[in-house]
Amino acid sequence: MAAGIFGILDKIQKRGFEVEALNYPMEVYLDETFCLEKWLLSHKADYYLVGLHWFVHARGAYEVINRIRNSNSEAIIIVGGITASLFHELLMRDFKSIDYIIDGDGEEPIPMLVEALESKKDIDNIANLVYRKENKIIKSERKYILNNFEGFEYSNYSFLKNKEHYAEFSYPGIILEEKSLWLVNGRGCIYNCIGCGAARRARLGETYYCKEALICRNVDDVIQDIYNLRSFELDYIKLTHDFSSMGEKYYEEFFSRYKALSIETKIYNEFWQIPSEDFINKCTENGLSGRLDCTITAFTGDESMRKKLGKVFTNTELIECLNLCLDAHFTVKLYFSRFLPDENAISLLQTFKLIQTILNLDKSTQLIQIFYEGYLADPCSIMLEDVMLEDNYDIYINWESKNNGKVFQKMVHSLDGKSQLIDKKIINLLK
């Protein structure tokens, strides 16, 4: 589930509404006989919030919406998230089961909408709201953008069914058998990776984020949430935003406060670039040696291609950073990608050579894990803005678009013989 939904549900609950949350895939994993229809019939509600956040979940989200509608024809279905926002007009036009869409941040609009509907008040002035009125699609002229996190709590899981198991399902939890939870510590971004829909100059970044592009959550509130979550006995707290990019003052305060908690939970952080030497030194000075799990996306060994994709560090700088991480006993997940735009034999060779250098670097400790996965760009990212038109969006809903060839090939460059060839080369290299 998108980590931000817990802050919204907490706010609704604190306004006096009864709230229950369900993670459908988790329920099926825990009990293969779990039937969503039976659960919906026994837990009828007045309002249903369905997350349509990541575009790869679109088909599943719409199937859930249909099941809700079939089990409760009178229910009000509200949909939100990144994908729902970007394609709100298409969704309202083609999917009649949806009653309302929140186009953008929902922290204030969703509670206000529920309260207005409950008291039968006018909804026309609710920000970010998309709805139907007299067979017309209406979009509110009022805009709400979250500009601070004051009053939000993201550690309240009291309303989640089987909450005691949820920490086992944080990606890739069921693969690694770890217990971890994602925790909101910011919103927005300061970079322009061309395949990311939330990049500063992508449609999402330009349309929905604040002028500052990155909002940092108060350190005290983040630490309080970490403290509240200690009962889950987590292996990791996974931060949604790279706190090394929030500035030296921010991460120094975070390290100091986190050290004072005296808990064993490790921190997982996905770095948007590479961590600085100062950041790593501050980590070790505050007792985080061996307690930070770093994720770095390098994409490729071709420095010019990497820069074009939005990562501005060189191979030499990456190697130096990895050496510092090894000295600090940090675990590093290092991601490379196949099927990159403009990829060729020379760039592939550069990638293989860089991977080999890194493997030689880490022969004794094995703290570095290398991942090599297919490249997938977000809809409405800078890279795809020329082909990701709304007419092609049904590829993510029902996979029946007649035009999906062009779009899909743009997004995932040929997953056939090329993939097999690269797989064979990388397997031989790893041997």
Residue 410 has pLDDT above 50, yes or no: no
What does the pLDDT average to over 25-46? 94
The share of the chain scoring above pLDDT 90, in percent, equals: 67
What pLDDT does residue 413 have? 35
Residue 316 has pLDDT above 90, yes or no: yes
The correct CATH number of 5-139 out of 3.40.50.280, 2.60.120.10, 3.40.50.620, 3.40.50.300 is 3.40.50.280
Residue 429 has pLDDT above 70, yes or no: no
Confidence of residue 378 (pLDDT cuts 50, 70, 90): confident
Strand ranges across the sheet with 47-51: 47-51, 76-80, 100-102, 129-133, 136-139
Residues 317-376: tens digit of each pLDDT: 999 999 999 999 999 999 999 888 888 888 988 999 999 999 999 888 889 999 988 887
What pLDDT does residue 197 have? 82
Q: Mean pLDDT for the chain?
A: 87
What pLDDT does residue 255 have? 95
Residue 401 has pLDDT above 60, yes or no: no
User: Could you say which architecture CATH assigns to the domain 170-430?
Assistant: Alpha-Beta Barrel (3.20)
Higher confidence at residue 387 or residue 12?
A: 12
Confidence of residue 393 (pLDDT cuts 50, 70, 90): very low
What pLDDT does residue 208 have? 76
What does the pLDDT average to over 406-423? 43
What does the pLDDT average to over 150-155? 95
User: Domain spans of the chain?
Assistant: 5-139, 170-430
What does the pLDDT average to over 408-420? 41
Residue 400 has pLDDT above 50, yes or no: no
What pLDDT does residue 411 have? 36
The share of the chain scoring above pLDDT 70, in percent, equals: 87
Residue 377 has pLDDT above 90, yes or no: no
What pLDDT does residue 385 have? 65
Higher confidence at residue 427 or residue 402?
A: 427
What does the pLDDT average to over 146-168? 95
Residue 13 has pLDDT above 70, yes or no: yes
Confidence of residue 395 (pLDDT cuts 50, 70, 90): very low
What pLDDT does residue 56 have? 78
Higher confidence at residue 109 or residue 170?
A: 109
Residues 237-283: tens digit of each pLDDT: 999 999 999 999 999 999 999 999 999 899 999 999 999 999 999 99
Region of poorest pLDDT, from 173-177, 325-329, 391-395: 391-395
Residues 102-151: tens digit of each pLDDT: 999 999 999 999 999 999 999 999 999 999 999 899 999 999 999 889 99
Tell me whether domains 5-139 and 170-430 share a fold.
Answer: no
